[in-house]
């Protein structure tokens, strides 16, 4: 794990001031092994897909189909594959896990408690993610540090100790306006729900449009009052977002 931490810190120093395209290319040159990008077809993920596809980087693009997605997500999935001439590999929940959850909690039992909601996310998202990342050397995400207070400490390169891999966040220092401007300038296909106020899109029953003045992720698990709302994909065993120790200062 110490070697991984050192590698992550070196990437922060080497690529911290580079643009997102150069960061991704640099990751591919630095890491030996399988590189996986997980997309949910949100704004940031579509930008990352564009950067990977247009540079023809050796990155496997995968997605988690929970079985409760908006139909617009499936339509965008097909449109994205056609736009870039690639195949996005799906990972589905194990049927016995979902069946067990529904038997115990009911079809919409995730509304009942935070524990039940996290159990649903565990079956539909976290377990499939484990299979998607099995054997990977690096995991690429579309996380931005300004998406929520919980994500404010996101680093360019982090360590996922549970999976023994480097987690790479090439858009960490972007804001939503930058991502949207990039997508429009490069004709990146986007989910039409974004224009209807769905800025952060997850499963259909767990996502609503945000109201004026609300933060970007307020529409996720909107019935919960918990401040740091996450599905578990980006959390470590302690329930916190995984990150490495601060990197050495980079000269301006």
120 is in an annotated binding site: yes
Identify the CA nearest to 51 among candidates 76, 81, 19, 7: 19
Question: What whole-number distance in Å separates Cα of residue 234 and Cα of residue 126?
Answer: 9
Which residue, chain included where needed, has tokens 């990751």? 27
28 is in an annotated binding site: no
Q: What is the dihedral angle through the alpha carbons of 69, 67, 175, 6, rounded to the nearest 10 degrees?
A: -170
203 is in an annotated binding site: yes
121 is in an annotated binding site: yes
Identify the CA nearest to 238 among candidates 167, 166, 142, 162: 162
Which DSSP string do the residues of 82-103 spell out, in sequence order? HHHT--PEEE---HHHHHHHHH
Catalytic residue ranges: 231
Q: Is 206 helix (H, G, I), strand (E, B) or coil?
A: helix
C-alpha triplet 191, 194, 200: angle, nearest 5°: 100
Identify the CA nearest to 124 among candidates 235, 240, 232: 232
Q: Which tokens go with 119?
A: 């159990």
User: Which residues are annotated as part of the binding site for [4Fe-4S] cluster?
Assistant: 120-121, 203, 206
- List the binding residues: 120-121, 203, 206
């Amino acid at each position: 794990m110490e070697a991984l931490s050192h590698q992550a810190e070196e990437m922060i120093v080497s690529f911290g001031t580079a643009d997102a395209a150069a960061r991704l290319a640099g990751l591919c040159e630095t890491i030996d092994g399988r590189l996986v990008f997980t997309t949910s077809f949100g704004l940031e993920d579509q930008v990352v897909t564009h950067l990977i596809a247009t540079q023809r980087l050796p990155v496997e693009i995968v997605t988690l189909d929970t079985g409760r997605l908006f139909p617009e997500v499936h339509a965008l999935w097909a449109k994205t594959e056609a736009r870039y001439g690639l195949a996005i590999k799906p990972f589905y929940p194990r049927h016995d896990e979902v069946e067990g959850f529904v038997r115990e909690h009911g079809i919409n039992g995730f509304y009942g408690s935070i524990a039940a909601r996290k159990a649903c996310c565990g079956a539909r998202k976290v377990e499939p993610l484990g299979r998607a990342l099995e054997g990977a050397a690096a995991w690429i995400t579309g996380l931005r540090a300004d998406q929520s207070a919980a994500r404010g400490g996101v680093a360019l390169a982090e360590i996922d100790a549970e999976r023994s891999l480097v987690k790479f966040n090439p858009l960490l220092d972007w804001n939503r306006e930058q991502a949207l401007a990039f997508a429009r300038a490069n004709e990146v296909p986007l989910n039409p729900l974004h224009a209807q106020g769905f800025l952060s899109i997850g499963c259909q029953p767990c996502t609503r449009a945000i109201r004026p003045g609300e933060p970007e992720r307020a529409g996720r698990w909107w019935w919960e009052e918990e401040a740091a709302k996450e599905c578990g994909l980006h959390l470590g065993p302690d329930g916190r977002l995984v990150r490495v120790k601060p990197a050495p200062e980079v000269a301006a």
